């Protein structure tokens, strides 16, 4: 059994609800979908017991009704990446913070707040990222239904 | 003594790119730093969703002027994984070759900037002169000094000829010799050790906790390099050392980068020795199937992470890019604590934040402005030698650019 499969088996034993939600796409890439309320325990276990100590990034996904959030973490030396996906309804897009486990998640969490309108529960107060301070609070550019507004400058750039 | 907060940026002579740092001081010492990022946010991820994969490739290559090949390679690898393409071996070797030449150019640039930041401009002049060698090699191979445009989905766009291989060997031999000299300078020259030692310290524990990557992490003994741990392109077949250091300060970061220059030369020679024969590209579909992929790439500054989701059309559903500087910003805040205000530009420069680097113009217009033509490198050089002779009275024709 490969390392990837062993990791999968161990995670299924610990979290039976994730059975059938795994996908090993190729060597060193494990993808899994977990229920949103299980995320913290899942990441904590992966970090403490399976040594997924490298935090890579958080990716937000606009999936119509739902907001998908992908957490990419990796093991040192083996290079195995665990890509953990949760889904929350856009009507109540609350995800927990993982900054207590990975301090480097601070900016990526602010990013999904700004660009996808997620609410990160437990994130310490701080300046927004990456949009400017005067950007409207209810506009989230990476949502599929957001279109840039024509401004005087953009019209001039297009039409001369 | 009371605390004073000094705003640095978004526009400031010490910063090469717009970023804003609120630095709280007690006397001359930094108590804490709060960064506000995002001034360079150009909406590239959103723009990718509205462009075809080939258009995205050119856009993504322009995320950064220095590590453009890193981003484009990471992107094409994502697309190839989703589309299930088997890239010819010769193509991945050429990608590796360009990737390592790019690392040399980036690290030499950094070494010069570091020299400049501490007032050691001789080092800047030396390293940037030598950097011309690698930029010339890149221009010879790809047609451009930066933004090489060598990658395409399914392979590379230009092959490497036997004459070019000979030129690269010559250039790399020179670079390796020069790098060994810089290594000696870094170890023996008191100016560097005294000025850089103890500045911007980041303990191993903090580096791991805050997720510092690239040479910044490796200088704090974080033994982490995607080329070895999660090999891509031809790195699985290369033998090289991951350079780490125990100094944990700007001096350590200098030693790591100089060490990596030597390793890059080794990798380039292995690529040239083992360059497989065969095609350099496979035909890629215009529409990329439904699927997702995530790729890590060891750029000169640390690892790039690219995530791609395809939806069966010719445009990506979602494209996500993480550049290494983002991961190192928190480490910078930690490094600055307790340092002098005067060291702030040096410490920030020591993570090698991504600067913009402009391309060189090679299309010339005649006086009437109608005729255009492409100048090759030799005529462009002759033109500049002439220009200086006529306008400045300087005779540069005897300066040898390559030994």
Per-residue pLDDT tens over the stretch B29-59: 999 988 888 888 888 899 999 999 999 999 9
Residue B358: its pLDDT value, please? 26
Q: How confident is the model at residue B248 (pLDDT cuts 50, 70, 90)?
A: very high
User: Residues 160 to 219 of B: which have CB under 8 A from any A CB?
Assistant: 208-211
- Does any domain span residue B143? yes
Per-residue pLDDT tens over the stretch B182-232: 999 988 988 889 999 999 999 999 999 999 999 999 999 999 999 999 999
Q: Name the average pLDDT for chain B.
A: 89
The Cα B109–Cα B7 span in angstroms is 27
- CATH class of the domain defined by A3-159: alpha beta
A100 touches A126 (CB < 8 A): no
Name the DSSP letter for residue B67. S
Per-residue pLDDT tens over the stretch A85-119: 999 999 999 999 999 999 999 999 999 999 999 99
- Does any domain span residue B355? no
B10 at A interface, C-beta within 8 A: no
Mutating which of B230, B310, B313 best tests the A interface, going by the most A Cβ atoms within 10 A?
A: B230
Total count of domains within chain B: 3
Q: Is B131 in the same domain as B240?
A: yes
Mutating which of B296, B317, B319, B331 best tests the A interface, going by the most A Cβ atoms within 10 A?
A: B296
**A159: which residues sit within 8 A by CB, 6+ positions away?**
none
B286 at A interface, C-beta within 8 A: no
Cα–Cα distances in angstroms (integers) from residue B123 to residues A16, A132, A157, B120, B324, in the given order? 60, 38, 43, 6, 26
Q: Is B249 in the same domain as B119?
A: yes
Residue A1: its pLDDT value, please? 65
Judge whether residue B112 has pLDDT over 90.
yes
B207 vs B1, residue with greater confidence: B207
pTM for the model: 0.89
Residue A160: its pLDDT value, please? 67
Cβ contacts (< 8 Å) between A55 and chain B: which residues?
A: 211
Q: How many CB atoms lie within 10 A of CB B10?
A: 16
Contact A57 B43 (CB under 8 A): no
Structural domain of B122? 44-350
Where residue B131 sits, what CATH number does that domain have? Answer: 1.10.645.10
Q: What percent of chain B has pLDDT over 90?
A: 66
User: Residues 53 to 112 of B: which have CB under 8 A from any A CB?
Assistant: 81
Residue B370: its pLDDT value, please? 52
The Cα B154–Cα B175 span in angstroms is 31
Contact B305 A56 (CB under 8 A): yes
- Does any domain span residue B209? yes
Q: Which of B38, B224, B294 lies nearest to residue A81, judging by beta carbons?
A: B294
Q: What is the ipTM of this complex?
A: 0.93
- Does any domain span residue B357? no
Q: Is B165 in the same domain as B243?
A: yes
Cβ contacts (< 8 Å) between A25 and chain B: which residues?
A: 81, 293
Judge whether residue A41 has pLDDT over 60.
yes
> What is the average pLDDT across B156-183?
96
Q: Is B15 in the same domain as B71?
A: no
Q: Is B201 in the same domain as B328?
A: yes
Q: Is B294 in the same domain as B216?
A: yes
Per-residue pLDDT tens over the stretch B264-292: 999 999 999 999 999 999 999 999 999 99
- Does any domain span residue B269? yes
Could you give phi then psi for residue B402, rounded to 5 degrees?
-130, 135
Q: How confident is the model at residue B79 (pLDDT cuts 50, 70, 90)?
A: very high
């Amino acid at each position: 059994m490969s390392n990837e499969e062993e990791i999968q088996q161990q995670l299924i034993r610990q979290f039976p609800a994730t059975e059938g939600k795994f996908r090993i796409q190729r060597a060193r890439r494990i993808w899994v979908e977990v229920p949103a309320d299980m995320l913290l325990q899942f990441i904590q276990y992966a970090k403490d017991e399976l040594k997924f100590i490298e935090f890579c990034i958080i990716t937000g996904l606009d999936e119509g009704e739902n907001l998908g959030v992908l957490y990419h973490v990796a093991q040192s030396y083996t290079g195995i990446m665990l890509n953990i996906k949760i889904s929350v309804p856009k009507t109540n897009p609350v995800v927990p913070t993982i900054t207590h486990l990975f301090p480097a998640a601070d900016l990526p969490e602010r990013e999904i707040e700004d660009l996808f309108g997620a609410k990160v529960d437990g994130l310490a107060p701080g300046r927004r990222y990456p949009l400017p301070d005067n950007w409207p609070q209810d506009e989230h550019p990476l949502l599929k239904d957001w279109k840039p507004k024509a401004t005087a400058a953009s019209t001039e750039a297009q039409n001369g | 003594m009371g605390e004073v907060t000094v705003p640095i940026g978004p526009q400031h002579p010490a910063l090469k790119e717009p970023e804003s740092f609120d630095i709280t001081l007690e006397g001359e010492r930094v108590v804490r730093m709060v960064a506000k990022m995002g001034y360079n946010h150009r909406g590239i991820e959103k723009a990718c969703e509205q462009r075809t994969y080939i258009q995205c490739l050119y856009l993504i290559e322009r995320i950064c002027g220095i590590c453009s090949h890193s981003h484009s390679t990471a992107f094409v690898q994502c697309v190839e994984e989703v589309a299930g393409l088997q890239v010819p071996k010769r193509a991945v070797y050429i990608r590796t070759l360009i990737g390592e030449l790019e690392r040399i150019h980036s690290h030499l640039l950094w070494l010069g900037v570091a020299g400049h930041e501490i007032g050691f401009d001789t080092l800047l002049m030396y390293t940037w002169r030598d950097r011309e060698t690698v930029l010339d090699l890149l221009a010879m191979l790809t047609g451009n000094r930066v933004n090489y445009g060598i990658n395409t989905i399914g392979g590379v766009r230009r092959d490497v000829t036997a004459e070019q291989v000979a030129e690269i060997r010559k250039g790399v031999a020179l670079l390796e010799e020069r790098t060994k000299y810089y290594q000696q300078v870094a170890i023996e020259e008191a100016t560097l050790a005294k000025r850089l030692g103890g500045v911007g310290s980041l303990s191993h524990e903090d580096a791991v906790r805050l997720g510092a990557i690239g040479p910044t992490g490796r200088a704090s003994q974080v033994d982490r390099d995607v080329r070895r741990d999660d090999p891509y392109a031809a790195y699985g077949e290369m033998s090289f050392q991951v350079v780490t250091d125990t100094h944990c300060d700007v001096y350590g970061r200098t030693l790591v980068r100089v060490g990596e220059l030597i390793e890059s030369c080794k990798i380039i020679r292995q690529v040239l020795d083992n360059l497989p024969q065969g095609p350099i590209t496979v035909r890629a579909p215009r529409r990329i199937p439904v699927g997702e992929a995530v790729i890590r790439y060891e750029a000169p500054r640390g690892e790039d992470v690219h995530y791609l989701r395809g939806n069966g059309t010719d445009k990506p559903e979602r494209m996500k890019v993480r550049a290494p500087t983002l991961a190192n910003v928190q480490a910078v805040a930690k490094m600055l604590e307790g340092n002098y205000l005067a060291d702030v530009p040096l410490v920030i420069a020591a993570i090698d934040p991504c600067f913009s680097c402009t391309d060189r113009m090679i299309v010339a217009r005649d006086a009437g402005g109608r005729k255009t033509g492409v100048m090759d490198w030799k005529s462009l050089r002759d033109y500049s030698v002439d220009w200086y002779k006529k306008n400045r009275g300087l005779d540069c024709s005897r300066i040898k650019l390559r030994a």
